[in-house]
Amino acid sequence: MQQAGYGVPAGQVTPPAGDLASVINQCYQCGKCSAGCPVASEMDLLPHQMVRLAVLGDVAPIVASKSIWLCLTCHTCGARCPNGIDVPALLDPIRHQVLKNNVSTQESNVPLFHNTFLKTIRMFGRVHELTLIGLYKWKTKTFFDDMDLGMQMFRKGKIHLLPHRSSHLSEVKEVFKQSSMK
């Protein structure tokens, strides 16, 4: 299931440890998470398969999958799991390491979007839709998608031309300095 070109150099992404490892070890592969996942039909690894791989300490196929970025973090899996295993809570620490180590990914627009979103928060302290959408479209070269919709929203006063600049911007920047996005 591993795609060529999306491999993980050994040791760059570590499997779950501590409390999280002990929680996911409870998985008995009933498949309820995958049955309820709204994007299961698009996934190359199903949620219960990702849990199994994580239990076995084999995170490379998860890192190389589309699924890790297709997960909507809707938490339907976690809310229904008889053993209290929340797949997004398992995937988040893996996603953090993938991004921190600049590992190449499939579905790369998803991490790109989240990264851009956070950069606009670092810039202004709040989201500014026009900057966010502009930067994202610039990076993905999708300038003309949703042009109509954007104009309509602008006319309805839902998209602001100028960003609000928080007076706490220095505190926000300080928070980012302590993170992997420094």
Partner 1 sequence: MEYSYYPGCSLEGSARELNESFRTVSKKLGVTLFEIPDWTCCGASSAHMVDAYLEAALPAKDLLTAERIGKDVVAPCAGCHVRMKAASRRILEDADLRARFPFKGEIKVLSGLEMLHGQEILSRIKSSTIKPLEGLRVVPYYGCLAVRPPEVVEPDSPENPMQMDHILEAIGAEVLTWPYKTDCCGGSMALTRTDLVLKLSRKILDMALAVGADAIVTMCPMCQANLDTRQADISRQAGKAYQMPILYVTELIGVALGGTDTRQWFAKHMVSGENMLAGKGLI
* Per CB under 8 A, 75 contacts partner 1: yes
Select the span of 1-9, 24-32, 48-56, 105-113 touching partner 1 (CB under 8 A): 105-113
Give backbone dihedrals phi and psi of 126, rounded to 5 degrees, phi first.
-135, 170
Site map (CB under 8 A) of partner 1, residues 163-182, x = contact: -x-xxx--xx--xx-xxxx-
Among residues 56 and 155, whose Cβ is nearest to partner 1? Answer: 155
> Letter for the amino acid at 144?
F
Report in angstroms how near the CB of residue 22 gets to partner 1 at its nearest. Answer: 16
SS3 string, the chain, reads: CCCCCCCCCCCCCCCCCHHHHHHHCCCCCCCHHHHHCCCHHHCCCCHHHHHHHHHCCCCHHHHCCCHHHHCCCCCHHHHHCCCCCCHHHHHHHHHHHHHHCCCCCCCCHHHHHHHHHHHHHHHHCCCCHHHHHHHHHHHHCCCCCCHHHHHHHHHCCCCCCCCCCCCCHHHHHHHHHCCCCC
Report in angstroms how near the CB of residue 175 gets to partner 1 at its nearest. Answer: 4
Report in angstroms how near the CB of residue 6 gets to partner 1 at its nearest. Answer: 18
Number of residues that bind partner 1 (CB under 8 A): 60
Report in angstroms how near the CB of residue 95 gets to partner 1 at its nearest. Answer: 5
| Positions in the binding site for partner 1 (CB under 8 A) | 38-39, 42, 70, 72-76, 78-79, 86, 88-89, 92-93, 95-96, 99-100, 107, 109-115, 117-118, 121, 125-127, 129, 133, 136, 145-146, 148-149, 152-153, 156-160, 164, 166-168, 171-172, 175-176, 178-181
